[in-house]
Amino acid sequence: AKLLENTFRQVNIALMNQLVPFCRSLGIDVREVVEAAGSKPYGFMKFYPGAGVGGHCIPIDPLYLLWRSRQLGIDFPFVESADKTNRDMPKYVANRLIDLAGLKSGDKALILGVAYKSGISDVRETPAHDVATHLVSQGVEVYWSDPLVSEFESVKKWEPSVSVKGAIVVTAQPELEVESVAGSGVPVLDCTGAYKGIKGVSQL
């Protein structure tokens, strides 16, 4: 039952993530589509796109199903596709930031919110790690900031004295410095939808 519940969320989040480039190419806000679909009084459960999935459940538990199904010679194409889609999202959003901010090798970028979900300090399997890894692979110097997280070993902790050329919100956290960073003229990509309407903040 636990594996089914986590796999259900994995597959539905992946569906929303697959909609992101599609809706963007049409000039449609994917989160507005989800909200509108959720206005139906039955039969629809709202899931939202983001920078990827994290934690010790959604990215991992579905793989137990895949492992056992392969032993039995049974295909689970939905689960395989969902896993790939969600694991590809950190690279997708990192590339979106590179394009948005015009980042080049040697530039500095900031990841805002590195816990795997809002309101916690847990960084296990956080998509922020893979976002940072891809940016670093492109020669970008990456910093992080998260008021709830004390340690995040992937990249350097940010201080306001460090000027960055672009920023990406991976996880919405209380007291995150989104408005001040955007207000300083730094383009910000918001993967959470929590900072819509703030000048200088672009949505996923």
CA 168 to chain centre: 9
| Cα–Cα–Cα angle for 88, 15, 34, rounded to 5 degrees | 120
**DSSP type of residue 53:** -
Active site residue 57: yes
Query: How far apart are alpha carbons 136 and 106 in whole angstroms?
Result: 10
Query: How far apart are alpha carbons 168 and 1 in whole angstroms?
Result: 35
Residue type, 181: V
* 113 burial level (CB within 10 Å; 0-12, 13-18, 19+): buried
Among the listed residues 30, 57, 94, 142, the single catalytic one is 57
Task: Tell me the catalytic residues.
Answer: 57
